[in-house]
Structures are given as structure tokens and as C-alpha cells.
Amino acid sequence: MTSNLDKEKNSLPVLRYLILGLFLWNLPAFLLTYMNGSISSLISYISYALLVLYVVINGKSGNSKGMLLLGLSYFLISGLVDQQYMPDFRFFLVIAIKYFIVIWGGYEVLKKTSKIEMWWFLMIGALSILGNMFLFNDPKADYGRYSGFYLDPNNGGLICLMGFSASFLLPKVYKIVGKAAFTLLGLFTLSRTFVITWILINILSIKLSIKNIKMLAIGFGILSSLLIYNEFLPVKNPRLEQISASLTGNESKSKGIDKDSRWHTWSRYYDALQNKPILGNGYQSFLGSGIAPPVGVHNTYLLIWGEGGIIPITIFLVYMIWLFFESYKVFNDKPHLLMMMLGLSLFLMTNHNFLTSNYSLFILLWIHIQVKETSKQEDLINLKVNTIEA
């Protein structure tokens, strides 16, 4: 007999899969880069329309109040406090509306998305990195780093980290294939954020079983192979040379990796943050065309605080801490949740497009829903136990 939950998961699967593909694979932005703006805009508006249509047909069953409060406080305060760096108001309004559609409608789509479904969408997204290597490779733009649908190696690395983490709770075949594939594809991004976070997630996995230490050895083996391969290339990959220099302690070659480090990028915005810590500096003030051009802050936490002030960043931090705490409570049974939270929270320290990055928002919403469902299941079990004991 099919349970009500299974029926709910299977409701409108074709429409749901279409929405998941459009958002999790970053297709509008990808089409904008590799085709043209007209097609990209059309696909973008279709994707939001489908999201609204899904909710109209399927109804509402819940919301992520934390993300709604974040959006409300951030867009309201940053939009009112200073319009110096704000684009055309209509453009600002469209961005805000899109955010709320994603949070409001995405909740329903992701609530009905199972772990194996999410894993498959992440896998296909990660496999686009191979497509970047062989089908739409631009050596002058890519510099030997690949990102697939996600247009930035760190973003591609995030998808691989999320898929790698999700693999831990799946059946053995998916687990083995997933961990190996997401590791290899993630290394192709040559993202330092990916490498560091991947190591931390694997160290965390040792708490589950000492056997998981094997994955660390495999990963280091793959990375070593890439470094050795680079030595035989007629034109060496700069990022691999920098990573190799860092590992071997070659200071002269490793300087390049720290020249434009994230610490230096963040520090350029500290004065603006200190000057207006309560209400912030206004919408888009912490992007490349804002207070400290030409480079944006590359840190979601600093961007929310710097543009919207203390209220939205407090809401966001409380929300993230709650997700961390709840994920930690169920780590032994559902380790992927804490691993995904670790990966996403570190990624946000290197990225400032989170509030307009639909695949990142979808991933965080999905984690929220998984945590919430797990908490409900535990409460139900505890209630049954207490009833039996009584």
C-alpha cells in the first residue's frame, strides 16, 4: 500500500522535475552566457511562472519563515536606507519579487523532493562540469578551471559538495559512485573552497565510521595525480601550480594564491561596515560597482550586514545556527544534513550572490525541510514512547 507521504512526494512529478531542473541547474544564467539574453529572459520568467503555477495547483502546506523574514528585512531596509548604489527601482522590485517567489513556491516543490531525487539533480548538475571541459570550453575564460552550468568554479564546487554529502545516506552503490564522482568533478573546479570543505566533511565522516578515512586517501590520490599530470603539460595550469607550491612550501610560487585573497577582499569593506553597522549602506553597496569597486565583498554574511544592517544579518545567523543545531542532533542517523550545512555555510564566506542564486536558495530550503520533517518524526516517536510508558 502506498502511504500518503509517498503520494504527496509523487504529486505533479513532471512539473516538479521541470522546475527542479530549471532552478538547480542554473539554466537561465547559463543560457545568458552561452546563447543570448532573449532566450535567457524567456526561460527565467517561465521558470518563475511554473513555480507559481505549481503552488496554485498543489496548494500551500508551509513556509520557511526564517528565509521570508530575511528577505523582508533585507530588501526593505537596504532599499530604503540608501539608494545611491541601487539600480532602477523596477529592476530592484523584480529581484525582490523573484526572491519571494523562490522561497514561497520553492518550499512546496522541495517538500515533495526525496533524497534520491535531489541526489540525481545534483549529479546531473555536477556532470555539466564535464560538458564544460569537452563541449563548451573557453580556455581564455576558464583558465583550466571548470564550472559547468554554474559559471563559476566555486559555485560548481558547491554542487559537488552538496552531492557528496547527500551520498552518505543513500544505498551502497549510490554512496560509492556518488562520493567518487562528486570528488573527481569537484577537483576539476580547482576551487580551494571545495578542497578545504571536502577535507572537513571527510574528517567529520570519520565520526560515523573509521572506514571513511579511505575517502580522504582516494581524494588526495586524485589531487596528487592532477598535480603530477600538470608537471608534464607544455603550458602548466596556474591554479595547479599554486596549489602544488602551497603543499610543497614554495613561497615564491605560492604568492599568487594569496595576492587577491578573500581576507584582503573582505578588508576593503570593513570601514563601510563599521561606519553604518545598524542600518547598513544600502542595496548593492557591497557589490563590485558599490563602495569599494571593482571587486564585490565575496561574502554573503558581510553583504547582508553591510547592505541591510544588523536586523537581517541577525535573522540569518539565528536561522543558520538553528539549522546547524538541529542537523547536529540527528547526525548519526542523517549525517548528510550537517555535512551540507557545513559545506553551504563555508561557501557563503566566498560568495555574495546567495540572495539571487536560486540553486543555493533551493538547497538551503531543502535542508530546512529535511530538518523539519526529521524533528516531527522524532516528536512523534517520543509521543508514542511516552504513551506506551504511561
pLDDT value at position 384? 55
Cis peptide before 13 (omega within 30 of 0): no
pLDDT value at position 385? 52
DSSP letter for each residue of 344-389: HHHHTTS-S-GGG-HHHHHHHHHHHHHHHHHHHHHHHHHHHHHHHH
pLDDT value at position 284? 96
Among left, alpha and beta (phi > 0; psi -120 to 50; other), residue 283 is: beta
3-state secondary structure (DSSP) of residue 242: helix
d(CA 272, CA 213): 44
Task: Please state the length of the chain.
Answer: 390
Closest C-alpha among 279, 128, 250, 269 to residue 189: 128
Which pairs with CB-CB distance under 8 Å and at least 24 residues apart come from 1-10?
A: 8/112, 9/112, 9/113, 9/114, 10/112
Residue 343 one-letter amino acid: G
pLDDT value at position 362? 98
Residue where the block lists cell 504529486? 11
Helix (H) or strand (E) holding 44: helix 37-58
d(CA 13, CA 53): 13
d(CA 340, CA 328): 11
d(CA 210, CA 37): 50
CB 186 within 8 A of CB 147: no
d(CA 160, CA 173): 18
pLDDT value at position 260? 54
For the chain, the distance separating the N- and C-terminal CA atoms, rounded to the nearest angstrom, is 31
3-state secondary structure (DSSP) of residue 172: helix
Per-residue pLDDT of the chain (390 residues; tens, 9 = 90+): 344 444 445 567 999 999 999 999 999 999 998 888 999 999 999 999 999 999 999 999 999 999 999 999 999 999 999 999 998 999 999 999 999 999 999 999 999 999 999 999 999 999 999 998 888 776 555 566 889 999 999 999 999 999 999 999 899 888 999 999 999 999 999 888 998 999 999 999 999 999 889 898 888 888 888 778 777 666 667 777 766 666 665 555 555 555 557 888 999 999 999 999 999 999 999 999 999 999 999 999 999 999 999 999 999 999 999 999 999 999 999 999 999 999 999 999 999 999 999 999 999 999 999 999 887 666 556 555 555 555
Alpha helix positions (H), 168-308: 172-188, 192-205, 213-231, 238-248, 251-259, 262-267, 270-275, 300-308
Domain ranges of the chain: 1-59, 62-381
pLDDT value at position 3? 45
d(CA 354, CA 37): 21
pLDDT value at position 226? 79
**Which residues are CB-contacts of 232 (< 8 A; sequence separation ≥ 6)?**
none
pLDDT value at position 281? 97
Q: Enter the C-alpha cell of residue 255.
A: 604568492
Q: How many CA atoms lie within 13 A of 348 on its CB side?
A: 24
- Number of Cβ within 10 Å of residue 48's Cβ equals 20
SS3 readout for 91-132: HHHHHHHHHHHHHHHHHHHHHCCCHHHHHHHHHHHHHHHHHH
Q: Model-level pTM?
A: 0.90
Closest C-alpha among 196, 120, 99 to residue 157: 196
CA 296 to chain centre: 18
